Structure 1
Amino acid sequence: MTRPTARVLALLEILQAGGTRTVGELAARLDVDERTIRRYVAHLADLDVPVESLRGRYGGVRLVPGRRVPPLMFTDEEALAVLLGLVAGRRAGLVTTSVVAVESAAAKLRRVLPVALARRLEGVLETAEFTAAPLTPATPGTAILIAVAEAARDYRALALDYTDSRGVRSSRTVHPYGIVAHSGRWYLTGADPADGEVRAFRVDRVEGVQPLPGTFEVPVGFDRAAAVLAAIAGAPRRHTVSLLVEGLADHVRALFPAGIATVEEDPDSPHRVRVLIQAERLDWVPGLLAGIDCPFWIEGPDALRPLVRALAQRVAVAADGIP
């Protein structure tokens, strides 16, 4: 059940949208009776919120025009959500501002919180730990991230100055479909208007953006996250591992971490798929293959075979239980 404090703050949020609201309208939106709404209005007045009740045919409740509302009023859950969001976002490498900016924002939030609540939240932050932080977080500039997100929202083409993984700089035109956060990085996915191919770009490698005239349409049902993961999995690397796996595509795809493998159905066999894995090194691949729970065959590369045999031998020795 929602606590009364949360409903009072929800009432304030509605009033801050502007205009005069009838008591009946507010009661319906907050799922309480009209008498409770009047009590909530009294609570806001006790907190020095400039709220007034108007009588008459066009009466209701509104914020006093020209008066300022206190800057921050959070419930316990809202305050914890904001603070943890700041800390977790910084740890995940997804906050586009500096560490100083994050700490400054958190400090401002703490200053306006009631002392008792601030002390309780400090206890959470002092004892919280975060695992699986990215080894090399890459944070794009705030202005770049906002620019590409706005272009995607407004269906506006962009001219990008981009540096790829090999350090090659280029200028290209993109129809941005959206941005995706994955493994401590922000990615932009969109189509090249020249050939219609969907691509993914690391936003931290974008050095400049320029909106272009005209608009475009996003394909119906386009999955931004799936497109980014497919682009990451298919990006060319030193080795291409090819497997034939007995099983349905959806089941086999779920056996691999997101963004690792590309799964293609075999047109000659409805119960067999081909899995392609792009890798700079092969030493980690045998452990990944050990998790496949259905029959499979390694098509290549040949350099992978002795690594898999070595892992199989180590596992067999461990199974004997003899140190």
Structure 2
Amino acid sequence: MSTKKLSDISVSVLDLVPIQEGKTAADAIKNAVDLAQHVEKLGYRRFWMAEHHNFPGIASSATTVLIGHVARETSTIRVGSGGIMLPNHAPLVVAEQFGTLATLFPGRIDLGLGRAPGTDGLTAMALRRDQHQSVDEFPQNVVEVYNYLGDPDPSSKVRAVPGEGTYVPIWILGSSTFGAQLAGMLGMPYAFASHFAPTMLHHAIQVYRDSFKPVGSLKEPYVMAGVNVIAADTDEKADYLATSMYQSFLGVIRGTAGLMKPPVESMNGLWDASEQYAVQNMLRCSFVGSPEKVKEDLQKFVDQTQVDEVIVASSIYDHAARLHSYELIADFFKKSA
């Protein structure tokens, strides 16, 4: 097995469009645009946003609208969904929306699809077009979206316009072997959510590669993995900034998710031992520290997984510190001359 250097693979950004304490959703969206413009200049490949609903601290619920907004304010970076939660939507509507985006911004739109609702059960019921809609229908719905975006079929009774003939790249997102096997069978690229659900990372990647069939334009399996990275000039500064991320995940575990909190000097007293263990278990694919430390940890991650691309979430409260973190990360992935 050949060893990949960080400079051999691509790096992208996953932005949850976090709303900070003391700020508004408008501030979060403004920061998202600024971040996208910043990382575009730094050479990042993609800027993805994720569909979440009924989360007070996340402003990306209308993901498709935000993708269009960010794509309009940038010029070269690919913009997409990490992901659209397909059980919440009719496949035709997804195809029309992303077909429209691809028509407006040719060659720059990605469609990542997930099978979870991206919210709690009550909110999922409020979102569903059909009370009987089920995650079990995910495979056939993915194929439906794929067909709508593929070759135009004048004989078809239902067509996506805009949509057909745009061939928007479809990614399967997942945190288990289900999505891995589906992506492999459909010959689609696969993105694993190791930034919050790392348990089955290695097994899922192996399942994907073993089951991959080149049925579409993708000739070889292509794996992207999500990681959390908080880089700063010193380990101490990075550890301090990372406490905002720890507080956010603690809120998820407690069922009290709220606005992104500013960093604190210590998490002692904010979580008990079991909560600390649960948060750290969720964040096993997180790399916090100085540039030297983070680069070494990222290289170990790539050595172990042999992924083709990493997508970086950086949950930092201070916007300037977040921009700086992505600057430091970009240096690791610069192509060799």
TM-score tier after normalising by the smaller chain length = under 0.3
TM-score by length of 2: 0.21
TM-score by length of 1: 0.22
Higher relative contact order (CA 8 A, sep 6+): 2
